[in-house]
Amino acid sequence: MPGRIQEPQFQHITVKEIGPTFAAEVQGVNFSQEIPQEVFDEILGAITKYGVLVFRDTGLDDTRHVEFSKRFGELDDIKPYLTNGRKAKFPYYELFDAGNIDDEGNPIALDSQRSHYNKGNGLWHVDSSFNPRRASYSILLAHTIPPPGTGGETGFADTRTAFDELPSELKEQLISNDYVAAHSLFHSRKLGSPEFFAHINPLEHKMARHKLIQRHEPSGRMNLYVARHAHHIEGLSPEESDAMLDRLIAHATQDKYTLEIPWHGVGDLVMWDNTCVMHRATGGSFEGRFKRDMRRTTVHDGSSTAWGLNEKGDTKLGFPQI
């Protein structure tokens, strides 16, 4: 596997590879107490190598979820979205609602605004690419999962190996042009539910600019930083841009670069690095019928490319009304 780092040697955790080119299940972490630094260092080594880590039956609650996440860096929060008198749903601002439960405690209706909004999560994306400062790790904890066989898995795509195996002419074109993509949450929501959001024009809203090809600093490997939040590639015509983004996402989401991770039970935790993998919600027959309570913390990227070509300190972008 290409890169500048040495292969991590795990002495305190057990790592089982589960994907064709990435992703691993980790055992040997005691989440009921503060994780020793030597164990935490091995978790960092594992997420750097594999991009996606699965921890089963962690027993974590909201407090320990947030405390664990803070060890990876500064956390994003939901305060900018609490407009029009809205209140935080969970006891910590750092917890994002990634589930399907409405304010009355029921599964959200399939015809609700939030249901249409969530359809964008079924597209391949990376968290927070639409913000001036992107995300590094997302750490998702299961509080309630739907019955087996009703869906709700999370899909992942390995964009580092996808970059490595691009056709040589396309790879040369991407590197030599050093393309910049403009990302918009309005764009991905409209792609997910075009009729419901037909009134939205993403070009009327500010977009976040990030390079399409960049080095994944923790591993030293090159990465294809692409997502359905990407509205266009600067310098290309709309037709050329759409064709390029479609081609790259299709390439990166071939079966050989992807896998779906099932949720086995309450306390399962899945962590991924948005700067080297894409992900998507797979949906299923549980929607509108069964509760799926998933809570996510999101770590701000601390790399040299965290802010892309955006102004440092700029405010996050998105749908404040959702």
Closest CA to 264 of 115, 156, 154: 154
Tokens of 14: 């057990």
144-179 pLDDT, tens digit per residue, is 999 999 999 999 999 999 999 999 999 999 999 999
What one-character DSSP code corresponds to residue 40? H
Label residue 320 left, alpha or beta by phi (over 0 means left) and psi (-120 to 50 means alpha).
Answer: alpha
Superfamily of domain 14-300: Clavaminate synthase-like (3.60.130.10)
> What is the rounded average pLDDT for all residues in the chain?
94
pLDDT grade, residue 82 (50/70/90)? Answer: confident
3-state SS, residue 189: helix
Mean pLDDT value of segment 286-304? 97
Indicate if the pLDDT at residue 322 is higher than 60. no
The answer to whether the CB of 137 falls within 8 A of the CB of 319 is: no
- The pTM of the full predicted model, rounded to 2 decimals, is 0.94
Indicate if the pLDDT at residue 4 is higher than 60. no
pLDDT grade, residue 318 (50/70/90)? Answer: low
Indicate if the pLDDT at residue 84 is higher than 90. no
3-state SS, residue 96: strand
Mean pLDDT value of segment 183-202? 96
* Cα gap 213→252, rounded to integer Å: 13
The answer to whether the CB of 310 falls within 8 A of the CB of 209 is: yes
* Cα gap 180→241, rounded to integer Å: 11
Where are the chain's structural domains?
14-300
Indicate if the pLDDT at residue 75 is higher than 90. yes
Indicate if the pLDDT at residue 131 is higher than 50. yes
The answer to whether the CB of 62 falls within 8 A of the CB of 68 is: no
Interacting residues of 262 by C-beta distance below 8 A, sequence separation 6+? 153
In this structure, the strands spanning 52-55 and 269-273 are antiparallel
First to last CA, the chain: 41
pLDDT grade, residue 1 (50/70/90)? Answer: very low
Residue 305: count of CB within 10 angstroms of its CB:
17
Residue 314: count of CB within 10 angstroms of its CB:
13
